[in-house]
Structure 1
Amino acid sequence: MKQSQHRCLVVTVSLLLSGALSPIANAQVTVPNVFENGQVADADEVNENFKALADGINSLPAGVKGEQGDQGPPGPAGATGPAGATGATGATGAAGAKGEKGDEGASCTVSACAVSSQATLSCGDTSVPIPCVRVDPATVFVTSETYSGRLGGLAGADEKCNTLAAAADLSGNYKAWLSDTSESPSTRFARSTVPYELVDGTRIADNWDDLTAFPVSLSNAIVADEYGALRYIGTPSLVWTCTLVSGSSSCTGNTIFDSCNDWKSNSPFESARSLGSTDATDNGWTRAVPQVSAPCFDRFPLYCFEQ
């Protein structure tokens, strides 16, 4: 039987660093039970002693902070983070300096709207056609001058019309109502959609279709020249035409006897046929009835039509 003991044992506890000889902390712990050599120890009392030691150890103050160890190797790179939000738009920059003044461009002009519903825009040496809607009538006149059959071809006849129109201050481009063995008004005229009128506004036909319709019925005869002066009243004149009512050529392949060698001859031994008459409003205005022919040295006027 265990004898009751009223003694206690003071135990000094030292904690050592692993692998070191010097203590880093000391504490005195009193254990409640003391046993003598050879004495049978009570288990509860032994446990009380162990508990007292454990409490003493747990009550030891924290040791001195040790020196910082060497830096470890860098870890692997982390995953790429998500893209950041788009930044706000920056403020508009200041306006740049004003550039130097460029060279002055060429002046531009626009011609009158032609029967073909085109005008010409001209800037310096450059000219381009532009669309337009013509509302004013196309002027028609019989020339104040007469010519032999040596007109310089169709181009020469057109030039004579434009020369007289310019002298009379008429605007526009003019062509002669004249055919040769290869061309005619039906192939080279702009077909007007507006009325044909004399210089004074007297109507001749409502448009190309009316002018060339069959049976023919002009509103008035073509008896006024480029100045608007009435000519051949009471004394009608023949007119070089060689053209049918339809605007087609009445010249055959025989240029010597049909068209004064395509309007390049004034020989008395050559001729032209199918002349018109200034007093007619039927088909005789362009092809007189009965059919008339004349030697190329004769002199007659031309019909001129604005294009």
Structure 2
Amino acid sequence: MPTCGDGYKWLGHEECDDANAVAGDGCHECQAATRAFVTSTTYDGNLGGLEGAAAKCQARATAAGLGGTWDVWLSTDTSAPLTRFVPNAAGYARRDGSLIANDFADLIDGSLDNLLSQTETGVSVGNSDVWTGTDPFGVATTATCNNWTSNSSLVSGEYGRSSTSTSTWSDNGTPAACNGLRRLFCFEQ
């Protein structure tokens, strides 16, 4: 019979079992860390709104055989990761299993524990710009390419960088024209 905490992962019943009750270590209450990646593909600021951007994350995850339900680290005037994401006490991990945050509070504390620079296939993209419209605390900024529906050079969107774990991972500080091509950060929900 499956028993959480016995050190054995029971397929179909537990995502993980590390035989302890420590939060933020990649497995908590037999729930694994939330997976995250940066897209291998780039997009201009017209993402089809928040729904279209989330669909892009889902498509990349599906193409890589990851399964699950995916959302995008992106904000609009009415939605932001701070209020939209489902917190996970097991943490948040990139494709190689390295934790980028120990739990949701750590994810939105202004910095990451490791770079979020691996794509859905596990390849590192190095220094890439990533659309976010979100500050490092999970709150919307004012630059969102008209809620991710514009690719005009006259409109701007906030972006972060995959090559840093400081606050600039989510908010570079200087919005860019929405006709540029950037990646997306995707999180399993």
Q: Structure 1 pair 270/111, CA: closer, same or farther in 2 (3 Å)? A: farther
Q: TM-score of the superposition, structure 2-length normalised?
A: 0.82
Query: Considering only CA atoms, is the larger Rg found in Structure 1 or Structure 2?
Result: 1
Query: Following the alignment from structure 1 to structure 2, what is the Cα–Cα distance between the partners of residues 111 and 154?
Result: 33
- Deviation (angstroms), 1:217: 3.7
Say yes or no: does 1:226 pair with 2:120: yes
Per the alignment, residue 297 of structure 1 pairs with 179
In structure 2, which of residues 81, 84, 96 is the aligned counterpart of residue 185 of structure 1? 81
Distance 1:111 1:188, change over 3 A: farther
Does the Cα contact within 8 Å between 1:112 and 1:171 map onto a contact in 2? Answer: no
Stretch deviating more after TM superposition (277-286 or 140-149): 277-286
Q: What are the within-5 Å matches in structure 2 for residues 136-175 of structure 1?
A: 136-175=32-71
| Counterpart in the other structure of 2:145 | 260
Q: Deviations over 1:234-273 (max 9, x none)?
A: xx1211011112211112xxxxxx2111101111221113
> Structure 2: which 5+ runs fail to align?
1-11, 16-28
Residue identity matched to 1:229 = V
What is the CA RMSD across the aligned residues, in angstroms?
A: 1.8
Identity over aligned pairs, percent: 37
Q: Any runs of at least 4 consecutive aligned residues in structure 1 with deviations exceeding 2 A, and if so which?
A: 110-113
1:246 to 113, 126, 137: 137
**Residue correspondence of structure 1 range 266-277 to structure 2 within 5 A:** 266-273=151-158, 275-277=159-161
Map of 1:204-215 to 2, 5 A cutoff?
204-213=100-109
User: Comparing both chains, which one has the higher relative contact order based on Cα–Cα distances under 8 Å and sequence gaps of 6 or more?
Assistant: 2
Aligned residues: 165
Matches within 5 A, 1:1-307: 134-213=30-109, 216-232=110-126, 236-251=127-142, 258-273=143-158, 275-288=159-172, 291-307=173-189
Secondary structure in 2 matching 1:140? strand
Contact 1:146/1:300, CA 8 A, preserved across alignment: yes
Contact persistence 2:111–2:166 (CA under 8 A): yes
1:73-118 CA-to-partner distances (Å, cap 9, x unmatched) read: xxxxxxxxxxxxxxxxxxxxxxxxxxxxxxxxxxxxx8997xxxxx
Aligned-pair distance for 1:171? 2.1
* TM-score (norm. length: structure 1): 0.51
1:303 positional shift: 0.3
In structure 2, do the counterparts of structure 1 residues 298 and 229 end up closer, same or farther at CA, with 3 Å as the change threshold? same
What is the CA deviation profile of residues 36-61 of structure 1, one whole-angstrom value per residue up to 9, with x for unaligned ones? xxxxxxxxxxxxxxxxxxxxxxxxxx
